[in-house]
Amino acid sequence: MRKAAIVFAGQGAQFVGMGKDLVEHYPVCRSLFEEADSVLGYAISALCFEGPQEELTKSNHCQPAIFVTSMACYRALASLVPDLDPVAMAGLSLGEWSALHAAGALTFADTLRILQARGAAMQAACEEQPGGMVSVMGVGRDDLVAICNESGVEMANLNSEEQTVLSGPKDGIEKAAFLAKERRAKRAIVLDVAGAFHSSLMRSAVDQLEAVMADVVISAPSVPVVSNVTGAPHGDVDAIRQAMLQQVTGSVHWYEGVAAMTAAGADTFVECGPGKVLSGLIKRIARGSTLLQVQDDASLKSTVTALQD
């Protein structure tokens, strides 16, 4: 059995039809979506399977939707590979909540409710303080710091040595893109996102999330879960609670997180959930590692075979 780390998709990976194939093939996945519908009080399953895309894309819908789909992928994998023993887990932004649930730190229902509230709070913050994000490639850290200082934006996602996403007010994002091109960036692309995620403009969302999380029970994870905030495995349960609040406004240290999982012995990364964004990032960080995905029946079967080689 390979030494695998499990990673979970973040916001933006959603697409209409996600999870449907797994529900049709695996009772454990069907039961999961039925439970999600019951907890949320509306048919998140129908939204995932049938759309419309504009409704699925809204933060208050897509965050719980991606979580349920990701967990369906993981549970299907675990049902076919009962001796699966991950060396670590992680997720990109909302995907970190998937990792914490998969590691036993939070119940399914509590995670679902948190993500519904988190998505709604972040959507509200986007509407209160309009902002944006820009993906910059090929600019060194010192230049990135200078760009942030000059344009009034912040580093949101440290995805790899080559790619960093900046976040902030819309006018600041336009200026940051211009400054990056002046510094001969390979690419500086303004992203089509709802707002300035992982920046101080999300502060109001933190306040709302803190109230929702106040009475939620968090247990010690059974598998090391790497924190977006630190790029290292989470500490005790109090530290987890604080880190997950800080995550909303703080930078995502994805590059350091992948390095930490590699240091823990991971030679294989299994991306659970819609899309292959994380596999693309990991390919540039953990060179030579095996990259697998689970998002439908075909990819699940392929991954099961590869893990057992």
Catalytic residues: 93, 198
Q: Read off the amino acid at residue 9.
A: A
The sheet carrying 268-272 orders its strands as 88-91, 4-8, 268-272, 290-294
What string of H, E and C letters represents the secondary structure of 183-234?
A: CCCCEEEECCCCCCCCCHHHHHHHHHHHHHHCCCCCCCCCCCEECCCCCCEC
Rounded distance between C-alpha atoms, residue 271 and residue 245, angstroms: 24
Burial class of residue 19 in the structure, from the number of CB atoms within 10 Å of its CB (0-12 exposed, 13-18 middle, 19+ buried): buried
Task: Report DSSP letters for 127-156, one per residue.
Answer: HHS-EEEEEEES--HHHHHHHHHHHT-EEE
Token code pair at residue 220 = 């010690």
